[in-house]
Chains A and B, each alone.
Chain A
Amino acid sequence: MIEFEKLKIVTGYEFLKHIRRKRLWIILGLTLIAELVVLILFPVLMDGYPKNVMIMAIMLTIGPAFATFGAIFFAGDAIAGEFENKTGYILFTNPVRRTTLVIGKYLACYAAVILLVIFGYVIVSISLLVIYGNIPFETLKSFGLCLLYVGGVLSVTFFFSSVSKGAMGATVITLVFIMVIFGILESVLMMADKPVWFLLSTAGDSMMYVYGGFELLLEGIVPSGSTGMMPFAFETPDIGLCAYAMVGYIIVGFVLSVWISKRRQLA
């Protein structure tokens, strides 16, 4: 039996796992709530929807951005869970390469998160079509960047899952790494007027910047569009560089997780 056939089997059953788990449906529900909050509160608090469709598109991208959290919650236990829950004693005693197992798990996680992201972008598209009568082409670009971001987050989570003893630890470490560590680094680098495009969290924000940069995003939040309240100048990172950075995270994180998983022993 060729390894590709085994990969298809592993991916299929891992995907079934995600479909049957509550966490997929919880994140799906929260994504919907996030979009509804924007759609309901914006006209109530801001005296109607913004005239610029791009600003509304940026605001609505919060839904798909939220959906990307699924990557952390799905992938946190992908590898660590096999060791922590002892399911590895059954799975690893089968004639399947660890590499195949990790790739299958990765693809299944990716497919599950893509479902969530598509759900988010469907809401974005329908909302923009109903409110403005058109969907900007940038929505497609934003979707592509979101998929890259999901891949980056998945790879980083897989890396932490491959080195962690427990699934909860892997999930928390990844959240802290992306949300806190990168957040602090971003602030420090921005204050020092240094580039930040290589940080995964910043690169991920490109799914919003693609609609018209940071200034437009600020315009959506601050009606005057003033950036004077910022303690430092912020220049929108180059979208291309952000995309390259995310591809880098995808490759490095994934390769490391496969390498470590192959060597990890089930004592």
Chain B
Amino acid sequence: MSETIVIEDLTKYYGKFLALDKLSLRVEEYENVGLLGPNGAGKSTTLKILCGLLKASSGTAYIGDINVAQKPEQALSRIGAIVETPEFYSFLTPVETLSYLGRLRGMQGESLRNRINEVIELVRLEEWAKVKIEKFSRGMKQRLALAQSLLHDPPVLILDEPALGLDPRGVVEFRQIIEEAGTKKTVFFASHQLTEVTQICNQVAIIDRGKLLAYDSVDELEKKYQSLEHAYLELTGGSFD
């Protein structure tokens, strides 16, 4: 298996604040990796650098063998992403939004229309497909965000707290979609929800203050620390008290 995501000595400063401290990580093809860490650990910063939204202060990030900083368009063509809580153009409908993004990725005609219908059905937005997004709730926008990330059937999914704003049913449906997608794709997934991560991911990376504290399979971490929760708390300096 080849490495799909490679992060080497990634360092990021926001002014004087060190958000990432020489973070290194390798994700192999078809692996589903959960990125765990407390608020401000550097999870979103890592994902944003991988998506070309931020520039690293030093270090490199690769998608496949493509350096994200040097060839962002090529790297992005392999990625489907949900970063933070994205917003959409309120004047467009989901169908128009997906048509816009699909066309930007070179999709067109009947195949684009069919694929739009497929992903809209997948995230259960059929009834809202032709309604302007200005009328959408947070959860509906999150469903649309998932739809756009899957639209072009990318080999890599980069997801930052993607279940945020979804109702309990939405969370379950979302997990099923990602689990299904994860059998054919590489998924790199930041979350605060440990249960969500254990259900979706087979590997877990725990980071805090921009440093990688552990990177192992869920099974190994559970063996070593009794449970993933224990591993997380012990490594990030928390406690059960």
Chain A residues packing against B (C-beta within 8 Å): 1, 6, 9-10, 13, 16-17, 20-21, 85-90, 92-97, 265-267
| CA distance in complex: A21, B54 (Å) | 31
A90 to B87, CA, bound (A): 7
> Given the complex, which residues of A lie within 8 Å of B148, measured CB to CB?
90
Contact of A89 among B55, B86, B92 (CB under 8 A): B86
Q: A87-B86, A89-B86, A265-B53 are in contact. Are A20 and B74 (CB under 8 A)?
A: no
Report the bound CA distance from A6 to B77 in whole Å.
Answer: 13
Query: Which residues on A sit within 8 Å (CB–CB) of B83?
Result: 89, 93
- 4 closest A-B pairs by beta carbon, nearest first, are A89-B86, A1-B106, A95-B77, A95-B73
In contact, A86 and B104 (Cβ under 8 angstroms): no
Evaluate contact between B101 and A90: CB separation under 8 angstroms. yes
Cross-chain contact A94 with B54 (CB below 8 angstroms):
no
How distant is the Cα of A90 from the Cα of B105 in the complex, in angstroms?
A: 13
Using CB atoms and an 8 Å cutoff, list the residues of chain B in contact with chain A.
14, 48, 51-55, 72-74, 76-77, 79, 81, 83-89, 91-92, 96, 100-101, 103-106, 145, 148
Give the chain A neighbours of B74 by CB distance below 8 A: 95
State whether A90 touches B52 (Cβ < 8 A): no
Shortest Cβ distance from B53 into A: residue:
A266
Tell me whether B104 and A89 are in contact (CB under 8 A). Answer: no
Distance (whole angstroms) from the CB of B44 to the closest CB of chain A: 9
Q: Determine whether the beta carbon of A266 is less than 8 Å from that of B54.
A: yes
| A119 and B96 alpha carbons, distance in the complex (Å) | 28
Q: How far is the CB of A21 from chain B (nearest CB, A)?
A: 7
**Inter-chain contact B104/A97, CB cutoff 8 Å:** no
Chain B residues within an 8 Å CB radius of A93: 51-53, 76, 79, 81, 83
Q: Are B100 and A17 in contact (CB under 8 A)?
A: no
Chain B minimum-CB-distance residue to A263 = B55
A266 neighbours in B (Cβ, 8 Å): 48, 53-54
Chain B residues positioned under 8 Å from A267 (CB to CB): 14, 48, 54
Across the interface, do B91 and A95 meet the contact criterion of CB distance under 8 Å? no
Please state if B52 and A96 are interface contacts (CB–CB under 8 Å): no
Q: Is the CB of A95 within 8 A of B86?
A: no
- How far is A23 from B144 in the complex, measured between Cα atoms in Å? 27
Q: Is the CB of B54 within 8 A of A9?
A: no
The answer for the CA separation of A104 and B6 in the assembled complex, in Å, is 33
Alpha-carbon distance A13/B91, docked complex (angstroms): 10
Also in contact, A17 and B101, with CB within 8 A (given A93-B76, A95-B76): no
Q: Cα distance A173–B74 when bound, in Å? A: 36
Within 8 Å CB of B84, what residues of A?
86, 89
Do A9 and B100 touch across chains, with their CB atoms under 8 A apart? yes
- Give the most central of A6, A86, A93: most B CB within 10 Å: A93
B55 pairs with A17, CB closer than 8 A: no
Min distance, Cβ B76 to any Cβ of chain A, angstroms: 4
